[in-house]
Amino acid sequence: MSASTTTPQALEYVTTTTPQPGEWRDVCAGISWLRMPLPFALNHVNCWLLGEPGNQVLIDTGVSIPSTHTYWQQALGIHSNETTNVPETLVVTHFHPDHMGMAGWFAEAGSQLLGSQIEVELAHAIWHVEDSQYGDFYADWYHSHGLPQSTIDAVRGKGNTYRKIVGQPPSESSWTYLLEGQTVELGGEAYHVMTGRGHAPDMIMLYRERDHVLIAADQVLPNITPNVSVMPRLEDPDPLSSFLTTLEYLKQLPSDTLVLPSHGIPFRGLHTRLDFLASHHDDRLSEVLDACVGCVSAHDLFKVLFHRELDAQQMSFALGESLAHLHYLENRNQLARVTSDGAVRFQRV
């Protein structure tokens, strides 16, 4: 994810402050907001609580680390091993650790599970990869796209980083799967299920039509651009096209829609933000095409797309995002792929 250049005046934020960890804040009718800390550069994820006690629905969980457990006990008023205060239902929007991380804990405490079948199956597939296989897979991926040997050696030794911050996902049979286009009752309100693609393959978004509220997950964020990546084990070879198509799909919603994003502050100005995100990627595609003089690797484009130092956790995101732009241009016959001795490069047609 990269920083946004949209001016703050272009969006209307519902507040200028954020909740403290473990603190709920009402954000609109029937929806409360909790901001859960994350141990990354992107330092928080927003979780949403729908409905009233006895019929409550939680959206997303944060990662599974000791501090997150402590914050959830504080937020839910749980003492010791009590489970009486957990929400009746948990919706996980997609497989990423900051959303899926504690699904197992909530399931064990009694929450019913809702999500996307594709995202749940992907969480299981990644979680069960052995450490050595996981490290070797990423090392080979890094090598084929030109990353330096020091980075390749480092990722090979890290093992399954997904499993380190995601509890074992609940069995696939314990989930009820949501489908795009259906209307579901959550917390006493009707929500229309929408699907976001590009950032994740089949991400759940929820739209409340009566007062124009969109729980947008990671599809539309106010201050950063969502990471759009070609990634190992994801089947979409052109996620940037999928992402841009979803932006157009969201334009059917009213311009006064209140957006509840997974990162950042809730805001109005959906159409403005959608236009900015599309324009941002148009600019990046032009920069990538201009940079493809001779044969270039995805790693060669880091200096074009990312104007900052990248930590180890961001390295795979950066590679995936570089490839997303390269694949988009390749699929439109503006770039051609050149493979030699296992190395993948691209050049202008």
pLDDT tens-digit map of 38-85: 999 899 999 999 999 999 999 999 999 999 999 999 999 876 555 568
Instruction: DSSP letter for 41, please.
Output: S
pLDDT value at position 256? Answer: 96
Model confidence pLDDT, tens digit, residues 101-126: 999 999 999 999 999 999 999 999 99
| Residue 162 CA from chain centroid, whole number | 14
Burial class for 152, CB neighbours closer than 10 Å (0-12, 13-18, 19+): middle
Q: What is the pLDDT of residue 5?
A: 46
pLDDT band at 9 (very low <50, low <70, confident <90, very high): low
Q: What is the CATH number of domain 2-290?
A: 3.60.15.10
**pLDDT at site 42:** 92
pLDDT score recorded for residue 78: 76
Higher pLDDT, 277 or 83: 277
Mean of per-residue pLDDT scores for the chain: 94
Q: What is the pLDDT of residue 79?
A: 64
Can you tell me the distance from the alpha carbon of 43 to that of 242, in angstroms, rounded to the nearest whole number?
Answer: 27
Q: What pLDDT is stored for residue 6 in this prediction?
A: 46
Q: How many CB atoms lie within 10 A of CB 268?
A: 18
DSSP 8-state assignment for residue 296: B
For residue 4, pLDDT beyond 60 = no
pLDDT of residue 8: 44
74: tokens are: 């504080």
Whether the predicted pLDDT of 329 surpasses 60: yes
| pLDDT tens-place string over residues 127-177 | 999 999 999 999 999 999 999 999 999 999 999 999 999 999 999 999 999
Annotate 73-115 with DSSP letters as a single string: HHHHT--TT--TTS-SEEE---SSHHHHTTHHHHHHTT-EEEE
